[in-house]
Amino acid sequence: MSPSNDGRKGQAGGPYKGVRASQLLGHWPFAGNYNDASAYARGPATVQGYNVQLASEQGTGYVQIRRPGFLNIPSVDLRTINFSIELRLRFPSLPTSGRQTLLSNWQWANWQYWMALEPDGRVFFTLRRNMQTNGSDPSQDLVVVWARVPVGRFFNAVYVYDSTRRNFSVFIDGALAGSETVRQEVTDVTLHTATQPYVQFGNKGDDWPKTGVADVDLSALRFYQLTFKTCGCLLAFPESVSLLIFFM
């Protein structure tokens, strides 16, 4: 995947305005292997447990994740940057009991972000503040964004964090699906420290037993560092917008 050059240059990193440049920090396409295809070559995702396998559909690779298996994926440092996390996903069905953890950067007392699917068909993604808590303090959330997602087909999800404008947004198949602003009383808009070498897909790092809790197909996972324009202009979301990121 790379930012589109289809006549809307300057919109690198996602289906929205205001981005001057983007840098690919990690890219796992799951096209016949688990390797990071970016220039950083951070290393392969690794299967934990069983019931996880590579597959292909219409020439596009993906990894089929089924409980109790999950993935460990080399971590990308997002703590102090503007970023996008971009995924191509398919949920075979909705959870029948409880939420299913998707992407998480999680270690006991050191978690940084958490993405999960709820039984009602919505996905939440929460970023954690740079503060120390005992794990039960509701004020530890920096910002949380929600989006309703399709079931039974692949779709593109793009999560964008702009710390300057204090905004966290999600786009589903190129359309703005949710956007939240960091509350004004929060002055530090960086994320919590995370030192673990791997993030998880399908599990939270301190869950016990260490088994996967999600049934999901993952066709692409990318992390970008974003540089936003400094003109002071706001992000613009046109009524009709096509995804400017091509998922290969």
* Cα torsion through 64, 204, 77, 168, rounded to 10: 90
Q: What is the pLDDT of residue 13?
A: 42
pLDDT of the chain, 248 residues: tens digit per residue: 333 332 223 333 445 568 889 999 999 999 999 999 999 999 999 999 999 999 999 999 999 999 999 999 999 999 999 999 999 999 999 999 899 999 999 877 788 999 999 999 999 999 998 877 666 666 789 999 999 999 999 999 999 999 999 999 999 999 999 999 999 999 999 999 988 999 999 999 877 788 999 999 999 999 999 999 885 444 443 333 333 333 33
CA dist., res. 131 & res. 124, Å (int)? 21
- Residue-range domains of the chain with CATH: 22-228 (2.60.120.200)
CB under 8 Å to 184, separation ≥6 — which residues?
none
- The answer to whether the predicted template modeling score (pTM) of the entire model surpasses 0.85 is yes
Tokens of 24: 């690919």
- Interval 103-151: pLDDT, tens: 999 877 788 999 999 999 999 999 998 877 666 666 789 999 999 999 9
Q: How far is CA 162 from the centre of its chain?
A: 14
CB under 8 Å to 80, separation ≥6 — which residues?
190, 191
